[in-house]
A and B are shown apart, each in its own frame.
Chain A
Amino acid sequence: MTNEEIDRVLSRSPNIIPSDNFLGAVMGRLEAPPPLAFPWKRALPGLAAWVGVLIWFLDACIFPSGASQVPVSLAMIYAYIVTAAETVEAGWLSFALLLSLLSVALSLWITGKRASVVNVWGRF
């Protein structure tokens, strides 16, 4: 195929006439009331309670005996973080999260590939 033939074919794409209800559908969506804003004021007590429970839960996990220590120096903070990470098995948690992310990424990649393969298969 020459460039001129490609130009000729692609220049005359079919003319699509909008459906009768297109204008109405667009205006309908424009005139519809805007989506409700998230009710932050009402959600705030619930969110505060949730954060409180999370803090309590972490505290209970990290200091099961109830002997809380307040870190006062950088070294102590570091030791505190390491101990906390060991207690909640942060390594395994990170590994599990990473694995989840990888499986999601792999699924998306396979889905995309399959769509391409179907495209190609349908074409040739």
Chain B
Amino acid sequence: MSDEQADSDRANVERVLTGETAAFEPVVRRWQGPLINLAYRFCHDRGRAEEMAQEAFLRAFRALGQWRKDAAFSTWLFALATNLYRTEIRRIPPLAAQLDRANEPRDTRAVDGGLEDDDRDQAVRRAVLLLPHKYREALVLFYFREMDVAATALSLSLPEGTVKARLTRGRNLLRDKLAPRGLDRARGTSEKQEAAK
């Protein structure tokens, strides 16, 4: 994020703190996309992601006075949103996985029995939702933070070593969950398609 954006956020927040509620609009406009996308990674449900992001903005608005300004506003906002999303997802686990699946055509397998690449990608993303909380949260935030372990550790308020361990264990669990779905065959399919080209 540029210094200009950080300054703009700071100025808007100060205006809000003086009672000008409308000054929060540019803040919402700037951060709505990232906050909704982060929520979506937790629940894979667009409607719920928007609801969670909306709640995050409301809580941020009410707690603006608690922002100490020693860190960037975005860092504070994301920490608040991440905590809210984690709590919310623990309270009501995402049901998107099976709902999405119910809308899919039943036989999405290729001729040789492997899954197509898109299906495989979706299967991997949905499998993340089925991991235990601590591994799911680590993986979701790690990839949202563009594979930055330090930023992930900061978001989770955990030491980097713990985050690395959870990422490793999370990936292993993910592989275990995906193994019975024939993903190796899917890879074989893709390779054959590549070779045919």
Contacts and interface: CB of A to CB of B under 8 A. Distances in A.
Interface of A: 1, 3, 5-7, 9-19, 22-23, 25-27, 29-31, 112, 115-116, 118-124
B58 A26 contact: yes
Contacts of A119: 93, 95, 97-98, 129-130
Contacts of A27: 21-22, 24-25, 28
A49 B102 CA distance: 56
B40 interface: yes
Contacts of A13: 37, 40-41, 125, 143-144
Interface residues of B, number: 51
Interface in B168-197: 171, 174-175, 177-178, 180-181, 183-184, 187
Contact of B98 (A6, A26, A118): A118
Contacts of A9: 120-121, 124-125
13 contacts: A1-B187, A6-B124, A7-B147, A9-B124, A13-B37, A23-B28, A26-B28, A27-B24, A27-B25, A115-B95, A118-B95, A122-B97, A123-B130
Nearest to B177: A123
B149 interface: no
B74 interface: no
Contacts of B24: 27, 30
B15 interface: no
